[in-house]
Structure 1
């Protein structure tokens, strides 16, 4: 069902058939739409990455923000975290099969963004 705006008997515009819960687009954006989230997923698409390397790849984001985004993605089953028994101990992050399903969306967004960039310059 799709929400609509109509005029009521008093001539006022009102919304009808409104969503009572987030629509599919909103649910998806809540998972991958946060700042740095898409970049983090995109950097994990080619294989496991250690935390510090990931922090270097996602320039401009603080380690605290990267940690928050990684926890968010892990909570949603998009990535997995593995503690590596090295000296010193390190942590690697890897995209899950479910997380990989978002890569095509992010790649389309990347291509669209590149086109938009050239149209606005």
Structure 2
């Protein structure tokens, strides 16, 4: 979409640029673009995973960061948290049906990334 000049109720003119508002790509990136978010969803694709196991799967992220991302994903409805009645108490996470809708493009992102020349992401 192209930027337009619009007039408000008081006669002031403003540039209305749809890209200033969250466009579909920006909205999606706000939901799934956080560091470790895609990786967490990807590691939950095969079934419920306990927190410590997930922390090991997502190498390089601190447990604090993983916990923060999981809280965000749970609030967005992409991940479900379950407290297990064990001694000691443990928590497991699983991807929701809504979260599963992201797996298709995460798989495409994985394939695209694997096709890139070595070292490109490190630059």
TM-score > 0.5 by shorter chain: yes
Q: Which has the higher helix share?
A: 1
Give every structure 1 segment of 4 or more consecutive aligned residues whose post-TM-superposition deviation is greater than 6 Å.
Answer: none
CA distance in 2, matches of 1:112, 1:119: 14
CA distance in 2, matches of 1:95, 1:116: 28
- Residues 28, 86 of structure 1: alpha-carbon distance in 2 compared, 3 angstrom cutoff: same
Instruction: Give the secondary structure class of the aligned counterpart of 1:35.
Output: coil
Instruction: Give the secondary structure class of the aligned counterpart of 1:104.
Output: helix
Q: How is 1:16-35 mapped onto 2 (pairs within 5 angstroms)?
A: 17-19=16-18, 21-35=21-35
Gaps of 5+ in 2: 4-14
Look up the match of 2:55. 55
CA distance in 2, matches of 1:3, 1:43: 39
Instruction: Give the secondary structure class of the aligned counterpart of 2:60.
Output: coil
What CA RMSD, in Å, does the superposition of the two structures yield over aligned residues?
A: 2.0
Q: Displacement of 1:116 after TM fit?
A: 1.1
- Residues 3, 64 of structure 1: alpha-carbon distance in 2 compared, 3 angstrom cutoff: farther
Look up the match of 1:82. 82
CA distance in 1, matches of 2:69, 2:27: 16
- Residues 26, 88 of structure 1: alpha-carbon distance in 2 compared, 3 angstrom cutoff: same
TM-score normalized by structure 2? 0.83
Q: Displacement of 1:21 after TM fit?
A: 2.2
TM-score normalized by structure 1? 0.84
Gaps of 5+ in 1: 5-15
